[in-house]
Copies of this chain bind each other. A is one copy, B any other.
Amino acid sequence: MDIATVVGVISAFGLVFVAIFMGGGIQIFINIPALMIVVGGTLGATMINYPLRDIFGVLNVVKKTLFSQNISVDEIINRFLGFSKKSRKEGILALEGEIKNVKDEFLKNGVQLFIDGFELQEIRDILETEVDLIGSRHQLGAEIFTTMATFFPALGMIGTLIGLVQMLQGLDDPSTIGPAMAVALLTTFYGSIMANIVCLPIAGKLRIRSKEEVLTKEMMIQGTISLSNGDNPMILEQKLLAFIPHSRRESVIH
């Protein structure tokens, strides 16, 4: 979990709690039935919307994208330069030994296709189909959180409407209007917090991580195609360097 997320969570929730404490106590902001409507209702609507498998799968995606480290662009470039030189010197089959050390399944699979003698266009088709699917699986996580971010405020409003109707029907004692309305507003408050401080930022983070991963995979496709195309190592390096900013190229070129 990167430090920005930690600092972000602390600052966002911390400040809200501080502001609440400065204005009185936190107990007036805790209401179990209100929490039940907002959280339970949203989870319910989400479970109607998405297959259970996808909802549980999202936990894995979140864990994986927040904690795991992508293969670095430097390593990708170095790997492919190595492959390119090796296969020019010792022939394609010599790559068999090389890819055993590669952890990334996608890179391994791509180069294996090359070794197995698939043609350039076939390799491109197979790998691009796979990247499309990886991308859409990762998008799903972001999409589920975005959907929840639309259900949370909606359920918040539904809860507030329930509270208002109950309050308005029993308007006999004016002194109860204030507290009853305060309670009614709590569901809107919960919905707003959950949507804007929890769901939307997580959805955003997942989307960014997914983009980074797809970019990495596209570098690998380019590398495999360059290999298969028989590009010389200099051209191969140029083609891969195009994927990273000028400012970071210095540290990568040899």
Q: Chain A interface (Cβ within 8 Å of chain B)?
A: 2-5, 7-16, 18-20, 22-24, 28-29, 33-34, 36-37, 40-41, 43-52, 54-55, 105-106, 109, 113, 116, 118, 122, 125-127, 129-130, 133-134, 137, 147, 150-151, 154-155, 157-159, 161-171, 175, 177-179, 181-182, 185-186, 188-189, 192-193, 195-197, 200-202, 204-205, 208, 222, 234-235, 238-239, 242-246
Contact (Cβ within 8 A) B33 A204: no
Q: Contacts of A181 on B, CB cut-off 8 Å?
A: 168
Q: Contacts of A126 on B, CB cut-off 8 Å?
A: 238-239, 242
Contact (Cβ within 8 A) B54 A41: no
Protomer copies: 5
Contact (Cβ within 8 A) A165 B182: yes
Contact (Cβ within 8 A) B125 A239: yes
Contact (Cβ within 8 A) A204 B50: yes
Identity of the chain B residue whose Cβ is nearest the Cβ of A151 in the assembled complex = B196
Q: Contacts of A23 on B, CB cut-off 8 Å?
A: 33, 162-163, 166
Contact (Cβ within 8 A) B196 A182: no
Report the minimum CB–CB distance from A240 to chain B (whole Å).
9
Identity of the chain B residue whose Cβ is nearest the Cβ of A36 in the assembled complex = B15
Cα–Cα distance between A245 and B136 once the two chains are bound (Å): 11
Contact (Cβ within 8 A) A50 B170: no
Q: Contacts of A54 on B, CB cut-off 8 Å?
A: 208
Known: A12-B43, A28-B166. 13 other contacts (CB 8 A): A4-B51, A7-B47, A12-B40, A12-B41, A23-B163, A29-B165, A49-B208, A50-B205, A109-B246, A150-B200, A154-B192, A155-B196, A167-B178
10 sample A-B contacts, Cβ–Cβ < 8 Å, listed by A number: A7-B52, A8-B48, A16-B41, A18-B33, A49-B204, A54-B208, A109-B246, A129-B242, A158-B196, A164-B185
